[in-house]
Chains A and B, each alone.
Chain A
Amino acid sequence: MNKQGILYTVIITFLICFAFIFVLSLTDRAVAERIIKNKDINERKAVLTAFGLSYKSDEDAFTLFENKISSEKIKDSVLYTTPIAGEKAYAIIFQGQGLWGIITGVLAVSKDVKRIIGMDLISHNETPGLGGRIDEPWFKNQFKNKLLNDQGTVIIAKSKTTATSDRPGEIDAITAATQTSQAFEKIINQYLTRLSALMGGR
């Protein structure tokens, strides 16, 4: 058969594509369950961290989630809930546009939506070392037990003084990552508004 002919080219290209894609599909199938499980565990861990519950291992996180956290459907949104200090706290999975890609995470608030209980990230695509620092503990810890301001929102900005931690609704932004900080502020506030609409409507 002529190796440069059209027929040979088409048949060989088809066969090679078929063989490679077939192997890929097999591999994907073989580990698909594991990947879904990883994703699930990752989300559970983020919910636990947002509520301020600590765990030691993946299994630990799994059981803790099963025992402590229940989900509730309010209107169209699924909220996670757990009792904290005698009162129900609520968490929602948020998602929004960062500077480079979608930022997903968990935001936990008190029942009256006057206070953020905690925040943890599930995934983001921000620049490592700059916007990517939203995933660092010092940044995320700022959301722990944070009172909101009178508008029920937060402001993420570079502080002129150092004592932002005491003032309601003020969170220190990331140096050299203004756009990520602004995008993140927008996402958080959007979800705070949504949460108060959901909870207020009860």
Chain B
Amino acid sequence: MAGRVLDITKENLWTNNPIFIQILGICSALAVTSNLINTSIMSAGVIFVTGFSNLTVSVLKNIIPRKVRMIIQTLIIAFYVIIVDIFLRAFLPDISRALGAYIGLIITNCIIMGRAEAFAGSHPPLISLWDGLTSGTGYMAVLMLIAFVRELLGYGTIFGFEVFPGGKLFGLWLIFPDGFQHWIIMLMPPSAFFLLGIFIWIAKTILLKSKDNP
């Protein structure tokens, strides 16, 4: 059992990472990653929703008729997303304001449906919960990486804190001799596309190497 838990963790975080390998959930990876604060809260929402929808789907799997299982999974996912939305609106109104429509869009995240269908439908509840939580974490890790680069170059900040006072830090005057310039492209969704491509390339290269020489 413990070995199985470790395997799932490793798979979801790295060797079968939902974004790098399964290429799931990249829609939100493009949309929300322009700053770290929004990204971390959105991904925390995704972790919660994947975890608990997996758990619920797994608990109910034996009583759900096959032909309506997809629509019921969608219902369960929507249920948790609305719970997250209500929670943020009631207790963290400023964040809810900043995220706007993004929270509602968690429901369209393919990872959640993918895990419910591929894993929770055929595994016991607790391990499904764990699978959901780690899948969400694998997703979060990649999004944070993209958001880090985008926020740093787009706004010149990390979690909202200025990192280039006068643009002369970390020897960056070599790149920005006249002080830091915002990279407008980094604030727009296409930049996430380029970054994601680069990250997938790097991850695949490392993974293929370790496969060749085990």
Which A residues form the contact surface with B (CB < 8 A)? 3-4, 8-9, 12-13, 16-17, 20, 23-24, 27-28, 31, 34-35, 38-39, 42, 101, 123-125, 127-130, 175-176
Contacts and interface: CB of A to CB of B under 8 A. Distances in A.
Interface string B54-92: 000000100111111001100110010011001101110
A155 B76 CA distance: 49
5 contacts: A24-B79, A35-B86, A35-B89, A123-B97, A129-B154
Interface residues of B, number: 32
Contacts of A101: 100-101
A201 B86 CA distance: 43
A9 B63 CA distance: 9
Most chain A beta carbons < 10 A, residue from B67, B68, B154, B187: B187
B137 interface: no
A17 B82 contact: no
Given A38-B90, A38-B93, A128-B38, A24 B64 contact: no
For the residues of A in contact with B, the DSSP-based class is helix
Given A12-B65, A35-B86, 10 more contacts: A4-B66, A8-B65, A13-B71, A28-B86, A35-B90, A38-B93, A128-B35, A175-B184, A176-B187, A176-B188
Contacts of B43: none
B34 interface: yes
The 3 closest A-B pairs by CB, nearest first: A129-B187, A31-B90, A38-B93
Given A38-B93, A123-B97, A12 B64 contact: yes
B149 to A, nearest CB: 13
A130 B93 CA distance: 22
A32 to B, nearest CB: 9
Contacts of B97: 42, 123
A27 to B, nearest CB: 6
A38 B86 CA distance: 12
B20 interface: no
Nearest to B189: A127
A16 B72 CA distance: 8
A3 B65 CA distance: 6
Contact of B86 (A3, A27, A42, A127): A27
A9 B72 CA distance: 11
B155 interface: yes
A129 B68 contact: no
Nearest to B97: A123
A24 B83 contact: yes
Contacts of A31: 86-87, 89-90
A128 B86 CA distance: 22
B160 to A, nearest CB: 12
Interface string B29-42: 00000110010000
Contacts of A13: 65, 68, 71-72
A3 to B, nearest CB: 6
B124 to A, nearest CB: 20
